[in-house]
Amino acid sequence: MTAQTADRRGIMFVLSSPSGAGKTTLARRLLKRDAAFTLSVSATTRPPRPKEINGRDYFFVSVEEFNRMVAERDLLEHAHVFGHDYGSPRAPVEAAIRDGRDVLFDVDWQGAQQLRNSDLGALVTTVFLLPPSIAALEARLMTRAQDKPDVIEGRMAKARSEISHWAEYDYVLINDNLDACYSQIETIVSTERLRRDRQKWLQPHVDSLNREFEERS
């Protein structure tokens, strides 16, 4: 880690989209290619899908355990989505940010709003992914083949209301071509890292420029 990454204020990078628009695919790519990022692994009461691993994709917990986490303020945000509870554990996020790392969140619009309004809200950057068409969204949900037909129908029915929140996000991308969309995400990350308030070393640098001025006078 360079001195600059250690000092940098991390990004809390939120990716939201209607289910099936591609956020898990893009999130995995970002985590693989950008070593500064760590995933905020959510807790959920939803049952695992076939290839999901406890602790990697989600912490699969009982309703009782989830309610205990809420009561003990262990979650930075939480929401009820598709009949199940989901929430972002607070401690790993705070630890990652303390270490100057970036944290990726795959949460819905309710989570994005709550993170923005949290005490760490100044670090939050939000991105919403739109599908190129509703037909493409449905086709992706079907090729993913991880949900039963009635679940897919439910997700399609919810897509419209999820899409209605698009304008609440900092950045909105259309995930048509996966590589093009990923490269736009990389651009956003690079730009966010250059924000003045994320570069903690700027003030000392300007101080040293001023000292140089004084030495010359």
Q: Applying CB under 6 A, does 118 fall inside the site for ligand ADP?
A: no
Residues 4-33 that bind ligand 5GP (CB under 6 A): 16, 19
| CA pseudo-torsion sign 176, 180, 183, 188 | negative
- Tokens 């071509």 locate to 177
Residue of 10, 20, 87, 111 that binds ligand ADP (CB under 6 A): 20
* Residue 82 interacting partner from ligand ADP, ligand 5GP, none (CB closer than 5 to 8 Å by kind): ligand 5GP
Q: Applying CB under 6 A, does 85 fall inside the site for ligand 5GP?
A: no
Beta strands in the chain (DSSP E): 12-16, 37-39, 43-44, 59-60, 75-81, 84-89, 102-106, 124-130, 171-174
Sketch the per residue contact string, 39 through 58, with ligand 5GP: x for CB under 6 A, - otherwise: ---x---x------------
Beta strands in 40-170 (DSSP E): 43-44, 59-60, 75-81, 84-89, 102-106, 124-130
Distance between CA atoms of 22 and 140, rounded to whole angstroms?
Answer: 8
Q: Applying CB under 6 A, does 19 fall inside the site for ligand ADP?
A: yes
Q: Applying CB under 6 A, does 102 fall inside the site for ligand 5GP?
A: no
What minimum distance in Å lies between the beta carbon of 209 and ligand 5GP? Answer: 43
Sketch the per residue contact string, 148 through 187, with ligand ADP: x for CB under 6 A, - otherwise: ---------------------------x-xx---------
Answer for the pair 8, 129: CB distance below 8 angstroms, yes or no: no
The torsion defined by the Cα of 57, 85, 125 and 16, in degrees rounded to 10, comes to: 70
Distance between CA atoms of 160 and 155, rounded to whole angstroms?
Answer: 9
Sketch the per residue contact string, 124 through 153, with ligand ADP: x for CB under 6 A, - otherwise: ----------------x--xx---------
Q: Which is nearer to ligand 5GP, 46 or 140 (CB)?
A: 46
Nearest to 116 by CA among 84, 76, 74, 162: 76
Answer for the pair 119, 99: CB distance below 8 angstroms, yes or no: no
Nearest to 6 by CA among 196, 188, 201: 201
* Residue 86 interacting partner from ligand ADP, ligand 5GP, none (CB closer than 5 to 8 Å by kind): ligand 5GP
Q: Applying CB under 6 A, does 23 fall inside the site for ligand ADP?
A: yes
Q: Hey, which residues does 50 pair with through a beta bridge?
A: none
Residues that bind ligand 5GP (CB under 6 A): 16, 19, 42, 46, 77, 79, 81-82, 86-88, 106-108, 110-111
Residues that bind ligand ADP (CB under 6 A): 17, 19-25, 140, 143-144, 175, 177-178
